[in-house]
A and B are shown apart, each in its own frame.
Chain A
Amino acid sequence: MTPERWQQVKEIFDSALRYQPEQRGAFLSEACSGDEDLRSEVESLITSHEKEGSFIDEPAYYVAAEMIANGKTELQSGYSIGSYEVISFISRGGMGEVYLAQDKRLNRKVALKLLPDAYTKDNDRLRRFEQEARAASALNHPNIITIYEIFQIGSTHAIATEFVEGETLRQRLAHSRLTLIEALNIAIQIADALAAAHKAGIIHRDIKPENVMLRPDGYVKVLDFGLAKLSEHASPAVSTEAPTMEVRTGSGFVLGTAGYMSPEQARGLAVDNRSDIFSLGAVLYEIVARRKPFEGETPTDTLAAILKTEPPPLSHVAPDAPPELVRIVTKSLRKDREERYQVVKDLWLDLKALKQEMEFQAKLDRSVPTDNGDERTDGFGRAPTTTRAEKAQHSTQARSAVHSITESLTIEMKRHKFGFAVVLAAVLAVIALAGFGIYKYVNRQWPVPAFQNIKLSRLTNSGDTIDATISPDGKYIVYVLSDRTLQSLWIRQVSTANDKQIVPPAPVGYFGMTFSPDGNDLYYVVKANLDTGTLYRIPFLGGVPVKVLEKIDGPVSFSPDGKRFVLVRGNYPNAGESALVVANVDGTKEQILAIRKRPELFSPIFFTGPSWSPDGKLVAATVATSAKSAQVVLFSVEDGKEQVLTREPWTFAARVHWLPDMSGLLVVAGEGVGFAQHWVLSYPGGERRRVTNDLSTYRAIGLTADGRKLATVQLDGLMNVWVAPDADAARAVRLPTGNVGFYGAAGNNVSWTPKNQLVFVSNESGMADIWIADPDGKNRKQLSTNGGVTPVVSFDGRYIVFNSARSDGRSIWRMNIDGSNPIQLTKGTADLSPAMSPDSKWVIYTANDGAEPALWKVSINGGEPVRITDHVVTSAVVSPDGKLLAYTYPDSLDPYAPPNRITVVSFDSNTLVTNFEFTPSGTVPTLIQWSNDGKSLLYSVNQYSVSNVWAQPLAGGPPKQITDFKDGLMTGFAWSRDGKQFAAIRGSLLRDAVLITDMR
C-alpha cells in the first residue's frame, strides 16, 4: 500500500470508529464513495480492531528487561540446532555466539558458533568465508582449530568446530600475568599456525587475543580463520581483494576490536601475509606490556592511532623485556609493511631463537643459589672486591662458555648415540661447574641495593586511579577511583585481580591510605574541601568506617609497635605554621614533634606524608624550605632533634617511606611536581639514587613489610595539538603530531607565526621538541633538537623564544624562526613560561628557583635580567600594544597553590591597573593570553576535566565563555595573528596504579 493510500484508509478508519457499529455502514458508503477496495480494507481493519484479546497491548519490554538482566538471551541447555544439542553457552562476541554442544551423530563435543544474521546475508561473502575456513582447517595443523561443519538452519548460519578446553588469550590476560617465556610460547605457536596458513595462501586477517585459545597443556589454537572475510564490505570502487574491516558489529552489542588491525587494513587497502604479522606483533606487545599498543576512546580513534601513532616503546612499558624481544616486536609493528618481517617464518625463527636463549639462561639461573638472605647473614662483612658490572660480565662469560660447550656436546651426542648417558653427565657437570663459578662471584658481592633492579607492572588501566597503596603482605592493593566529582575506595586481591568497592563513591577526596602494621585496618583521610581532612579507620576487608581524628592533611605513619602514628597538620598550631604531630592510634594523646613557620613548611599536600622509622626512633618528613626547594629531614621521636638528610635538595619532594632495613628511604621527588619520580635516599649517607626514570610522573608510596613491592600511581597524559577555525569546537581537528604527555604539555605549548604557521611542542622525535607546521598539519618540520617547550614566536616573526633543560637547569633560550642559532638567554635553574613584548625586545619569564620566585624580564639579546615582581607569578603576557602586562598568581601562602588571580599592570612603570579573581583549577594551571584587540584577557577554565577559554573584559564585568569544547583538558591555546584560527593543546590525564617490584 502506498503511504498516500494508507493515509486515506486510516482516516476513514478513525472516523468510522467514532460511529456506533450500526451507523458505520452508512458512513463507509459515503466516505468511500464507490471505492470498494477502500471500503473492504477499512472494514477488515475494523474487524481486526474489534477482535478479542490484547494483541500487542502488553509491552514485550518487561520480559526483555528480565532477559537482559539474566543474560538469558542465549540458548538454554537442551536446545537443538541441527544434529547438535546445546550443552552450555560459552561466549558472545562480534562474530556471534558460541556454545558448547554435543554432536549427537558422532557423539563428541563441539564448539558451535552461530553467526550474526547481518554477516550472512551476502551469499558471495559467505561462500568465500567457507572456502577459506575449510582450507585452513584442512591443513591439519596442531595450532589451527579443526572445523567439522559449516551449515545453515533456517536463517541462522553456524559453524561446528573442534572444542578446545581452556580459555582465550584475552581471558588469560585479564586474570594473570604471563611470563616472558609463556608469552614467547604463545607467539611462536601463533606464528607457526600463520606460517602454515600463509603457505596455503590463507590470511587470517583478525589475529587478536580473543581468537587465540590456550589449552591447559600449553597448546595454542588459533580460531576463526577466514571469518574476518564475513565482516568485510566489498567496496564497489575497488576490487573485492581490497576489503575494509567493519569496526562495529552487526548486532551493535559489542564493539569490534580495531586495536590489532594493520595500517593497511585500517586504510581499507588490500592485505597480505604481512598484515597478520603486524597483528601478531600487536598481540605480543600486549602480552608483554599488559596494555594494547594502540588505543583510542572510540574505534575510529584506535584506527587513527594505528595509522599515525607509534606505540609507547616496549622497553618503557615493559622494562624487563629483553632488547631482542623489543626489536622483534618493533619490527613486526612497522607501519610500512615493507619494513616489517616479510614472511612470518622469519618472525617465528627469531622468536624461537630468543626463547631458547632465555630458557637456557633460566636454567643457568636456577643452578645458581640466589638467596640473598644467606649472603647477608654469612657475616664475613668483606669489602666488595668486584663491581656489579664485573659480576655481570663474569656471569655472561660463564654462560656463553656453557652455551658453546653444550652446543658442541649436543652435536657430539648426535654423532655417538651410544655415548648419550656419558655425554649427558658431562653436560650436567659442566653446568654445575659454571654455576659454581658464578656462585663464587655472587657471594663476594654486597647485597644489591634496594630497588636497583626493578620490574614495573600496571595494576589498573582505567586512567582514573588517583591514589594507591599495598597491604603489608603484598596480597592486596587499595586504590581510589575518581569519577569527576565522585571518588570511591576499592580493594583488589592481587593474585586474582578481583576488585571490590570498600567505600562507595562520594563527592569527597580520599587521601593518604595507610595499612595498620598488622594489615587488618586501613586508615584514610577524607577531605570534603581543600582545607582540612578527617582520618578514618576501616577493617580493610569491609566494615564500617570509624572516625579517628580531625584536622589532618595527609597520610599517617605508624610506629613499629603499631600503637602510635605521626601525621602532618597545616596551619597548625597557628596560621602560617605547620606541625608534625604524634598521637595514639585511637587519636588520643596528641603531641607536637616539630613546627615549621612560613616560608618553610611540612608539605601538607595530598600525596605526601611523614614516615616513622622501623627502629622507632626517627620520623622522616619532607620540608619545603622555600617555594621551590625541598629536603628530607629526620626528627628524633624522643626529643624532636632534627637533621637534614638530603645532601642536595630537590625542587619538589613529596612522600617519603623508610625501607624496612633502614638502609634508606623511598622518596617521590623531582625537579617540579611534573617531574616527580621515585628515588632511594640512602641512610645515613643522604645520597640519592633514581628508582624510576621515565616520562611519567609518580605520586604515592605503599610499601610491603618486606620492602620488596611498591605500589604507586603513575600519571601520563595524552595531549595533542588541535586547530579550530574561528575557535569553533565542532570544527576542531587534531593534528597528526606526537603526544606531548601531560606534564610535558604544561605551559603554553602553541604559538603562531605572523605567516599563520603553527609552532608547537611534540615528542614525535622521542623527546619534547619544538616543531612548525601549517594549520592543517602539513609541512611539518622539527625546529629544535635538544629539547624545547613553551615556544613563543616574536611579534616580528624572527625568533622563537622557548624553555629548555639542555644546559644545567631549565632556562630561557632563543632561536631563529627556522630553528637555527639557539642562544641561551637566562642562567636560572627553573626559568619558565616565557612571553614576549610586541616590540620583540623583551622576554618575560618566571624564575622559580632561589628564595624569591618572581617575574623577570631579559632583553631578546640576553644580558642582565630585570626583576618585575616581588612575589610568585605563574605566567605572564604583554598586551598587543605593549603597554600592559597581565599575569596570574596564587593569592595564597601555600607555594603549591594554583593561581587564582590575574593582575594587570603597566608594563613600563609596574603600576597597578586592575585585578581579577578567578576560580583556580586543580588539574591544569590556568593560562592567560591577550585577545588580539587587547580589550580582554583570555584564560582557560577547567570544569570536571573539560577546559574552555573564557574572556575577561579589561573594562570589568563578568567573564564570558568563548569556546565550547565538550571534553578534554586544555594546557595551552593561542589565536592566529589574523584571529581566524584557534590552536590548543588538548587531551586527557591518565592516572593508574602500578606495582614496582624489587627484583633483587
Chain B
Amino acid sequence: MQSPEGITQLLIDWGKGDQAALEKLMPLVYSELRRLATNYLRRERTGHTLQATALVNEAYLKLVGQKNAKWQNRAQFFAISAQLMRRILVDHARRRQASKRGGSELRRLSITAAEELVKDPAIDLLALNEALDELAKMDPQQSRIVELKFFGGLSIEETAEVLGIGHATVEREWKSARAWLRRQLE
C-alpha cells in the first residue's frame, strides 16, 4: 500500500493538475471506501443510514493519516470520491442500458441496488452525465458543485468548504445549475 506521505503527495500532484496522480489515487480510494463501506453495512445493516461524508472522511484519515491530514488535501480527497462515485454510477448505468437493449423474453431482472440507483426514477444518469460535461464547458465550478453534491453526497456547507467558496455562492450556483440540468434532461 502507498504510504500516507505517498498519498498526500499524489493529492498534491493532482491538485497541481497531474492526471496520472488521479489514476493512481482512484484505486486506493476505491478499495478503502469499499472496505469501510462493507464494515459499516455489516455493523449497521438495520436502522442507520450510511453517512457518506463520514465514510469519506474516515477513508481519508485512514489513507492519509491524522498527522498528515491537511485541509486542502482533504478537500481534494472529497472531490476524488465524488468523481469516483460518478464513474461507478455512470459505468453501471451504461452496462444496464446495454443489457436492456439486448433484452429478450428470458430476461429475469433481479431487484438490486442498481434498480434503485436514484430515488427519482425519472433521472437518466447517462443523460445527466453528458449534460454535466456540457455544463463543465460553460461553467466548470458549477459542474463541480453538482458532482460534489449529487455524486459526492456533500451538503451545501461541505461543498462550500471543499471548493473554498461561500455557502451563499454554492446555494446560488446550485439553483441555476440544477435548473439548467433539469431542463436539458427533459
Residues of A near any B CB (own CB < 8 A): 1-3, 6-7, 9-10, 13-14, 17, 44-49, 51, 53-73, 75-83, 85-86, 104, 114, 117, 153-156, 248, 251-255, 297-298, 946, 966-967
C-alpha gap A10/B173 in the complex (Å): 8
Cβ A66 vs Cβ B37 within 8 A: yes
Decide if A252 touches B52 in the complex (CB within 8 Å): no
Closest to A2 in B: B138
User: Nearest-CB distance from A10 to chain B (Å)?
Assistant: 4
Name the residue on B nearest A3 (C-beta): B138
Q: Is the CB of A66 within 8 A of B114?
A: no
Let me know if A79 and B117 touch, CB within 8 A: no
CA distance A334 to B3 in the complex (A): 32
B104 at the interface (CB under 8 A from A): yes
Q: Is the CB of B107 within 8 A of A80?
A: yes
Say whether, besides A60-B85, A79-B99, A69 and B120 are in contact (CB < 8 Å).
no
Question: Chain B residue with minimal CB distance to A66?
Answer: B113
Interface of B is mostly: helix
A-B contact list, 25 entries, CB within 8 Å: A3-B138, A45-B180, A49-B179, A55-B123, A55-B182, A57-B178, A58-B120, A60-B151, A61-B85, A64-B151, A65-B153, A68-B33, A68-B88, A70-B41, A76-B109, A76-B114, A81-B98, A81-B102, A153-B101, A154-B101, A156-B95, A252-B22, A254-B27, A255-B27, A966-B9
CB nearest to A11 among chain B residues: B176
Across the interface, B85 reaches (CB within 8 A) one of A44, A51, A64, A69, namely A64
Which of A49, A58, A67, A298 lies at the interface centre, i.e. has the most chain B CB atoms within 10 A of its CB? A67
Contact (A56, B146) CB under 8 Å given A78-B108, A156-B95: yes
- Interface residues in B1-42 (C-beta closer than 8 Å to A): 2-3, 5-6, 8-9, 20, 22-24, 26-27, 30, 33-34, 37-38, 40-41
Residues of B within 8 A of A (CB): 2-3, 5-6, 8-9, 20, 22-24, 26-27, 30, 33-34, 37-38, 40-41, 49-50, 52, 55, 82, 85, 87-89, 91-92, 94-99, 101-104, 106-110, 112-114, 116-120, 122-123, 125, 128, 137-139, 146, 149-154, 172-173, 175-176, 178-183, 186
Taking A14-B176, A62-B153 as contacts, is the C-beta distance between A51 and B182 under 8 angstroms?
yes
- Tell me the smallest distance from the CB of A401 to a CB of chain B, in Å: 56
Q: Which 4 A-B pairs have the closest CB atoms?
A: A61-B153, A69-B37, A59-B153, A78-B108
Which residues of the other chain, A, contact B172 by a CB distance below 8 angstroms?
A: 14
Q: Given known contacts A9-B176, A17-B175, A82-B102, what 15 new A-B pairs fall within 8 Å (CB)?
A: A62-B153, A65-B55, A66-B41, A66-B113, A67-B92, A69-B37, A72-B112, A72-B114, A73-B92, A76-B112, A77-B110, A83-B102, A154-B101, A251-B87, A252-B23
Establish whether residues A48 and B183, one from each chain, have CB atoms under 8 Å apart when the complex forms.
yes
Given A17-B175, A66-B37, A154:B97 Cβ within 8 A: yes
A298 and B114 contact, Cβ closer than 8 Å, known pairs A3-B137, A59-B52, A69-B34: no
B99 touches A59 (CB 8 A): no
Q: Give the one of B88, B109, B152, B181 with max A CB within 10 A.
A: B88
Q: Could you tell me the distance between the alpha carbons of A6 and B26 in the complex, rounded to whole angstroms?
A: 32
Are B37's CB and A65's CB within 8 A? yes
Closest to B105 in A: A80
Given A55-B120, A65-B55, A73-B91: A252 and B27 within 8 A (CB)?
yes
Contact residues in B for A63 (Cβ distance below 8 Å):
89, 113, 116-118
* Contact partner, A49, options B85, B116, B150, B178, Cβ 8 Å: B178
One of B24, B40, B107 near A298 (C-beta < 8 A): B24
- Which of A14, A48, A252 contacts B87, CB < 8 Å? A252
Partner of A946 from B5, B40, B139 at Cβ < 8 Å: B5
Asked if B102 contacts A967 (CB within 8 A), the reply is no
Which chain A residues border B180 with CB–CB below 8 Å?
A: 10, 45, 48
Instruction: Say yes or no: A68-B34 contact (C-beta < 8 A), given A3-B138, A248-B20.
Output: yes
In the assembled complex, the Cα of A61 lies from the Cα of B51 at a distance in Å of 9
A72 to B24, CA, bound (A): 23
Determine the chain B residues whose CB is within 8 A of the CB of A254 once the complex forms: 27
Residues in B with CB closer than 8 Å to A114 are 95, 98
For residue A53, which residues in chain B have a CB less than 8 angstroms away from its CB? 120, 122
Pair A48/B179 contact, Cβ less than 8 Å: yes
B179 & A13 in contact (Cβ 8 Å cutoff)? yes
Instruction: Tell me the minimal C-beta distance from B179 to chain A in angstroms.
Output: 4
Are A69 and B110 neighbours in the complex by a CB distance under 8 Å? no
CA distance A641 to B109 in the complex (A): 81
Whether A64 touches B106, Cβ cut-off 8 Å, given contacts A51-B182, A56-B128, A255-B24, is no
- Contact (Cβ within 8 A) A68 B98: no
B137: nearest chain-A partner, CB-CB: A3
Q: How far is the CB of B35 from chain A (nearest CB, A)?
A: 9
CB <8 Å contact, B117 and A60? yes
Bound Cα distance from A485 to B149, whole angstroms: 36
Nearest chain B CB to A94 CB, angstrom units: 11
CB distance B113 to A80 under 8 Å? no
Contact call A3/B139, Cβ cutoff below 8 A: yes
Nearest A residue to B67, CB-CB: A944
Query: B122 to chain A: which residues have CB within 8 Å?
Result: 53
Contact of A68 with B30 in the complex, beta carbons under 8 Å:
yes
Chain B residues whose CB sits within 8 angstroms of the CB of A297 once the complex forms? 2, 6
> Quick check: B88 and A64 within 8 Å, CB to CB?
yes
| Chain A, residue nearest B49 (CB) | A62
Which B residues are CB-close (under 8 A) to A70? Answer: 38, 41, 113
If the complex has contacts A3-B137, A69-B40, A297-B2, are A55 and B178 also in contact, measured as CB distance less than 8 A?
yes
A80 adjacent to B103 (CB under 8 Å): yes
**How far is B119's CA from A482's CA once the two chains are assembled, in angstroms?**
44
- Inter-chain CA distance A590–B114, complex, in Å, is 65
Q: Bound state CA distance, A251 and B95, in angstroms?
A: 14
**Distance between Cα atoms of A967 and B89 in the complex (Å):** 35
Q: How far is the CB of A705 from chain B (nearest CB, A)?
A: 36
Write the nearest CB–CB distance from A946 to chain B, whole angstroms. 7
Q: Smallest Cβ distance from A511 to chain B, in angstroms? A: 25
Task: Identify the closest chain B residue to A152 (Cβ).
Answer: B98
Bound complex: CA A672 to CA B20 (Å): 44
Residues of B with C-beta under 8 A to A3? 137-139
Residue from A44, A78, A153, A298 within 8 A of B98 (CB atoms): A153
A80 touches B99 (CB 8 A): yes
CA of A117 to CA of B129 in the docked complex: distance in angstroms? 15
Q: Are B179 and A69 in contact, with the CB atoms below 8 A?
A: no
Q: A48-B180, A53-B122, A60-B117 are in contact. Are A79 and B109 (CB under 8 A)?
A: yes
Q: Give Cα distance in the complex from A10 to B6, angstroms.
A: 41
Give the CA-CA distance A73 to B84 in the complex, in Å: 13
> Considering the chains assembled together, what is the distance between the CA atoms of A51 and B122 in angstroms?
13
| CA gap between A446 and B37 in the complex, in Å | 61
Q: Is the CB of B24 within 8 A of A78?
A: no
Complex Cα distance, B137 from A733, in Å, reads 39
In the assembly, what is the distance between CA of A961 and CA of B150, in Å? 44
| Chain B residues, CB < 8 A from A45 | 176, 179-180, 183
Task: Judge whether B106 and A104 touch: CB under 8 Å.
Answer: yes
Tell me which residues across on chain A come within 8 A of B182, comparing CB atoms: 48-49, 51, 55-56
Interchain CA distance A270-B102 in the complex, whole Å: 39
Known: A80-B104, A81-B98, A298-B24. Is A64-B89 also a contact (CB below 8 A)?
yes
- Interchain CB contact under 8 A, A54 and B119: yes
A60 to B89, CA, bound (A): 8
Tell me, in angstroms, the Cα distance from A593 to B35 when the chains sit together. 51
Candidates B6, B119, B175, B183; contact of A967 at CB < 8 Å = B6
A80 touches B102 (CB 8 A): yes
B118: chain A residues within 8 A (beta carbon)? 58, 60, 63
B82 CB to closest chain A CB, in angstroms? 8
- Tell me the smallest distance from the CB of B46 to a CB of chain A, in Å: 14
B40 near A73: Cβ-Cβ < 8 Å: no
Closest residue to A76 on the B side, CB-wise? Answer: B110
Q: Which residues of B contact A6 (CB under 8 A)?
A: 138-139
Could you say which residues of chain B place their CB within 8 Å of the CB of A117? 91, 94
| A252–B85 CA distance with the chains assembled, in angstroms | 12
Which of B8, B34, B102 has its CB near the most chain A CB atoms (within 10 A)? B102
The answer to whether A156 and B94 touch across the interface, beta carbons within 8 angstroms, is: yes
